[in-house]
Chains A and B, each alone.
Chain A
Amino acid sequence: MPKIEIEPEFCKGCMYCAETCPKKVIGTTSAVNSKGYQYAVPLHPENCIGCTLCAVICPDAAIEVYKEE
């Protein structure tokens, strides 16, 4: 199953990724990072299809994507 990793310390909570993801994988919780930003998290990782669109749109390069070989 494909997988995304969002680095909380690079994320500023702009939500461009959540808006872009066709499978609505990404959202937020009440957690904030050391700068106080409510960072994005893969709330529904099981729905990820590995399309990389969230990573492409993320301005802060906080998202990396993995797929089985």
Chain B
Amino acid sequence: MKKIYARPKGLYRNINGYCPGCLHSAAGKIIMSVLEEMDLLDRTAMVDGVGCCANNDNYMDLDAIGTPHGRACATASAIKRCSPETIVITYQGDGDLASIGLAETMLAANRGDNITVFFINNANYGMTGGQMAPTTLLDMKTTTTPFGRNPKEHGYPMDMCKILSALRGPSYIARVTCIDVPNVRKARQAVKDALQHQVDGKGFSMVEFVSNCPTNWGLTPLESLRFAKERMLAEYPLGVYRNL
């Protein structure tokens, strides 16, 4: 018998700490499978944000560094400038990338630093119990918006792909999701394209994963996929926003 689908080699052979059905796992799996295919596993350094992504420590077998909350893009830019041969990726949640680390994200993108950012948008602060994030949908209930997000009080959902596409620095920006098989395949291609931009020295690349958080959304895994499809994708359209 020939193995026609294998677990990526770079994943540790144990269960990771993400909740059941959490698409953080799917993003990590795709990233590791693409790094394996591009033969980059040995020269990649990952900068983890703060949040549920701390689970990557017992999931993805890469050289990795944890940063203070939000500072991943600044750390990644520094590593890349000191060690240009290293493939440098960040892995960040929406609270990390779009709220507390907004300045670092914008400035690294504006400088066109040659790093690849993986941005997991689950519309809340997952790890700390589901508080509102900049990406929380209008009317969505979170622990800090118990009556739903009201734009007058809490502002509007932030579309980071569009915001960063307004800068001249980024060379590749795409938004994907892993809620079904065709989209997993597209997500894989986007991860590959983003990393190829870094290999080619083109500058800042980012892939946003429209994700889920069954635990804090209060939904079963399968219900959370339906919510992501119906509500998240309406606010966050998939596609390639920049490809220079």
Residues of A that sit less than 8 Å from B by CB: 3, 7, 9-10, 12-16, 19-20, 33, 35, 37, 50, 52-53, 55-57, 59-69
Contacts and interface: CB of A to CB of B under 8 A. Distances in A.
Interface stretch (B20-28, B107-115, B159-167): B20-28
Interface in B4-54: 4-8, 11, 14-16, 18-26, 29
Given A3-B1, A37-B20, A56 B181 contact: yes
B106 interface: no
B148 interface: no
Interface centre among A13, A19, A57, A63 (most CB of B within 10 A): A57
B133 interface: no
Contact of A57 (B1, B14, B19, B180): B180
Given A12-B21, A52-B4, A60 B14 contact: no
Interface centre among B3, B7, B29 (most CB of A within 10 A): B7
A69 B226 CA distance: 37
A63 B25 CA distance: 14
A9 B8 CA distance: 16
Contact of A59 (B4, B29, B185, B222): B29
